[in-house]
């Protein structure tokens, strides 16, 4: 305990040739603080104090007043300790040296008496505020102290961390009536951090360590964090994954997907829908993108290039993926391949009925622009057969006259394409 002090005093004593300081260094080097760990050897420490007191009486430190004062403190001289206590900021700073040098054999029940002595030295008759808290702690009334701290301030940092330290010393200190006070205070502190901008991640770490009760609070608090931007939402989703808050992650992803849909950020909206891992959300967002995204923007939605498990379960997303490939083929001027893919899409069961008019419009556009064979004989026949069934099913929500005109146009262009196929093969 005194190693650094001994080294300093030895160096100073040798440099200044100060006999008193060298003598003090020797005294400190011979003090064995571990004697206080056992009540059977504590008396040996008191014997050492007596020897130091006798050295002071014999005047061994008289040549250096400061060295003599330190020696008197070690010897447990009450007037000396009282005189230097004025240099301390608070009375409770006096308690450790008072116990060490004046009452080295004090037991826990006697701690209260030592506290009274220190208060008396500082002239304190009535304790309130921090003084009252410290008195209760020294009196081993930890729960009362924690209650006082908690009710006197809106900041939960101090009571939470004090309770944590007390529990590490002895778990029984912070338990009462089968209630873990430490856990309660840490939950309160962690929860309070969620109201401070930028500190909710710290609050997450505190609450995660407090068992099921803390996790219940955490799930509610995460749902209240403002989704100011995608960075915040991404962090929240990652934290939800860490503690298996699947529904909360899904809610965050849904909220972000719908928000981005409203601003026309199709790729980002789809990414958040995929992050939800919910087929219904993915399908809903995919349907919105298909119906609202202009054809020339489809090729920029790169998120649909790669499939995940949840995408494969959504027919809307599969359709979106195929339509994306169709737009990319058109963009790269691969019209024959684009037409083949469009035929597959139209005759498949993937197409949501509300999007059939869009596909027919794309088909009309391709067939009208080219004077050469675009669709094969089989493809043309498949489409003509499909149109018969399609017309029989009715126009659904489409304008009837426009719908009939579109069907006649498609049928005419397909027959013209089929005629070109037959003519080209007979030559």
The tokens for 389 are 């069934």
What's the mean pLDDT in 147-152?
A: 79
The reported pTM is 0.66
Residue 348, pLDDT > 90, answer no
Model pLDDT, residue 153: 74
DSSP assignment string, 267-319: HHHHHHHHHHT-HHHHHHHHHHHHHHS-GGGGGG-GGGGS--HHHHT-HHHHH
The residue-averaged pLDDT of 386-402 equals 70
For the stretch 190-209, pLDDT in tens is: 999 998 888 999 999 999 99
HSE of 307, CA atoms in CB hemisphere, 13 A: 15
> In the prediction, which pLDDT does 262 show?
93
pLDDT band at 403 (very low <50, low <70, confident <90, very high): confident
Tell me the average pLDDT across 288-296.
83
Instruction: Supply angle C-alpha 160, 161, 166, rounded to 5.
Output: 100
At residue 269, what are phi and psi to the nearest 5 degrees? Answer: -60, -45
Of 208, 149, 201, 204, whose CA–CA distance to 174 is shortest? 149
Tens digits of per-residue pLDDT, 208-218? 998 899 999 99
Residue 248: name the closest of 212, 275, 279 by CA: 275
Residue 167 has pLDDT above 90, yes or no: no
Is residue 243 pLDDT above 80, yes or no? yes
Query: Residue range 82-97: average pLDDT?
Result: 89
Spatial contact of 171 and 187, defined as CB atoms under 8 Å apart: no
User: Do residues 159 and 149 lie in contact, with contact meaning Cβ atoms separated by under 8 Å?
Assistant: yes
Helix, coil or strand: residue 179 = strand
User: Is 130's pLDDT higher than 90?
Assistant: no
């Amino acid at each position: 305990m005194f190693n650094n002090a001994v080294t300093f005093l030895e160096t100073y004593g040798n440099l200044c040739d100060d006999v008193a300081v060298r003598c003090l260094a020797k005294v400190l080097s011979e003090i064995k603080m571990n004697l206080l760990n056992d009540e059977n050897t504590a008396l040996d420490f008191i014997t050492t104090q007596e020897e130091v007191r006798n050295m002071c009486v014999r005047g061994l430190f008289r040549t250096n007043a400061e060295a003599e004062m330190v020696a008197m403190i070690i010897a447990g001289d009450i007037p000396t300790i009282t005189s230097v206590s004025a240099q301390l900021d608070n009375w409770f700073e006096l308690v450790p040296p008072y116990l060490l040098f004046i009452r080295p054999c004090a037991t826990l029940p006697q701690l209260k008496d030592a506290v009274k002595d220190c208060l008396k030295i500082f002239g304190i008759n009535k304790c309130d505020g921090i003084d009252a808290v410290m008195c209760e702690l020294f009196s081993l009334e930890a729960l009362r102290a924690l209650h006082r701290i908690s009710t006197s301030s809106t900041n939960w940092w101090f009571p939470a961390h004090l309770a944590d330290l007390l529990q590490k010393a002895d778990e029984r200190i912070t338990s009462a009536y089968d209630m873990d006070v430490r856990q309660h205070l840490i939950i309160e502190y962690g929860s309070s951090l969620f109201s401070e901008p930028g500190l909710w991640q710290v609050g997450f770490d505190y609450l995660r360590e407090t068992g099921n009760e803390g996790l219940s609070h955490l799930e509610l608090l995460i749902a209240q964090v403002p989704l100011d931007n995608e960075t915040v939402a991404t962090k929240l989703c990652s934290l939800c994954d860490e503690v298996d808050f699947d529904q909360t992650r899904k809610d965050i992803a849904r909220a972000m997907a719908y928000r981005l849909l409203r601003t026309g950020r199709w790729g980002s909206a789809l990414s958040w829908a995929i992050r939800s891992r919910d087929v219904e959300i993915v399908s809903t967002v995919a349907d919105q993108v298909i119906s609202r995204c202009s054809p020339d923007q489809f090729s920029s939605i790169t998120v649909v290039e790669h499939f995940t498990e949840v995408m494969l379960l959504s027919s809307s997303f599969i359709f979106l993926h195929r339509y994306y490939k169709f737009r990319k083929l058109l963009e790269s001027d691969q019209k024959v391949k684009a037409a083949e893919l469009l035929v597959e899409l139209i005759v498949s069961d993937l197409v949501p009925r509300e999007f059939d008019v869009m596909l027919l419009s794309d088909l009309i556009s391709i067939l009208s622009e080219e004077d050469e064979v675009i669709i094969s004989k089989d493809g043309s026949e498949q489409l003509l057969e499909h149109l018969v069934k399609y017309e029989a099913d009715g126009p659904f929500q489409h304008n009837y006259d426009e719908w009939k005109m579109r069907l006649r146009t498609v049928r005419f262009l397909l027959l013209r394409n089929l005629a070109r196929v037959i003519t080209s093969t007979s030559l």
